Amino acid sequence: MSDPDALIRSSDPEHPANHICTLCAKFYSLGWVTGTGGGTSIRHGDKIYIAPSGVQKELMRPTDMFVMDFESREYLRRPAAHKPSACTPLFYAAFKRGAGCCIHTHSQWAVLVTLLVERDFGSSAPFEIEQIEQIKGIPKGRDKVGNLGYFDRLRIPIIENTAHEEDLTDSLEKAMEEYPDAYAVLVRRHGIYVWGDNVHKAKTQCESIDYILQLAVEMKKLGLPWTTK
Ligand SMILES: CSCCC(=O)C(=O)COP(=O)(O)O
Ligand SMILES: [Zn+2]
């Protein structure tokens, strides 16, 4: 590529370099990516757009974006002032499974749910909930048509946190294999990774899941069960 900047220069608001910036600004106001934590990555054909590490995610500009070739995993664009997000190998795991966008949040609801599940069901239990209308915002699973129904059970696996974000990759990939229908993985005391076939689906699924996680915390405070049995 003779001019790497051509990869991030576009007046289209849905170009990944622009879209990651606007999405992260929205996610900041939801409390998903505050204090530099969390982030978003988009796959665009054979290229992956990645944010820098350790920056205020709500203030990023398209010129801050890294661009990676999907097959070779070589960087086609590397802003000299930054390192790529430590979440890159985790985002890549989602892209390998066909995702078009992956969102990582540090939502407090996600963190609280991982603690409640550990306390009440044990450290190997997933988060499970049913009979909540918003479950209908989550797809049934990979290679399955349509979304979960009101009476279906939403299951989200939980992996243990590690000292460094990139060290979560093996356990995230293991959880993806053990729960092939999952579009999200919770990380204990840390947050959640949510992915979707495209940006629109990843965003709406992440919104639905965050809504459900907040509701689950409030239900627990009121002594209400998450499942019927
Ligand atoms: C206070 S954020 C700690 C790192 C983290 O968990 C995260 O999601 C952000 O990683 P990045 O390298 O994208 O800044
Ligand atoms: Zn994180």
Tell me whether residue 111 is in a domain: yes
Kindly give, in sequence order, each residue whose CB lies less than 8 Å from that of residue 224, ignoring residues fewer than 6 positions away.
none
Q: Is residue 229 part of a domain?
A: no
Atom of ligand 1 nearest to the CA of 37: 2
Which residue type is seen at 157? Answer: P
Residue burial 98-123, b: 16+ Cβ < 10 Å; e: rest: ebbbbbbbbbbbbbbbbebbbeeeee
Pocket (CB within 6 angstroms of ligand 1): 35-39, 53-54, 85-87, 104, 165
The pLDDT of residue 139 is: 98
Cα–Cα distance between 163 and 52 in angstroms, integer?
19
Specify the CATH number for the domain of residue 70. 3.40.225.10
One-letter amino acid identity for 147? N
In a domain, 96, yes or no: no
Q: Quote the domain boundaries for residue 74.
A: 1-85
* Statement to judge: residues 124 and 21 lie in one domain: no
Distance from Cα 39 to the centre of ligand 2, integer Å: 8
Number of domains in the chain: 2
The verdict on 120 and 219 lying in the same domain is yes
Same domain, residue pair 39 and 123: no
Do 35 and 69 lie in one domain? The reply is yes
> pLDDT tens, position by position, for the chain (229 residues)?
689 999 999 999 999 999 999 999 999 999 999 999 999 999 999 999 999 999 999 999 999 999 999 999 999 999 999 999 999 999 999 999 999 999 999 999 999 999 999 999 999 999 999 999 999 999 999 999 999 999 999 999 999 999 999 999 999 999 999 999 999 999 999 999 999 999 999 999 999 999 999 999 999 999 999 999 7
Q: Residue 57's pLDDT is what?
A: 98
Residue 147: inside a domain, yes or no? Answer: yes
**ipTM above threshold 0.95:** yes
- Cβ distance 55 to 84 under 8 Å? no
Rounded to two decimals, what is the model's pTM? Answer: 0.98
pLDDT in the model for residue 85 = 98
Number of other CB atoms surrounding residue 216 within 10 Å:
22
Q: Are residues 30 and 76 in the same domain?
A: yes
**Predicted pLDDT at 80:** 97
Ligand 1 centre and the CA of 226: distance in Å? 30
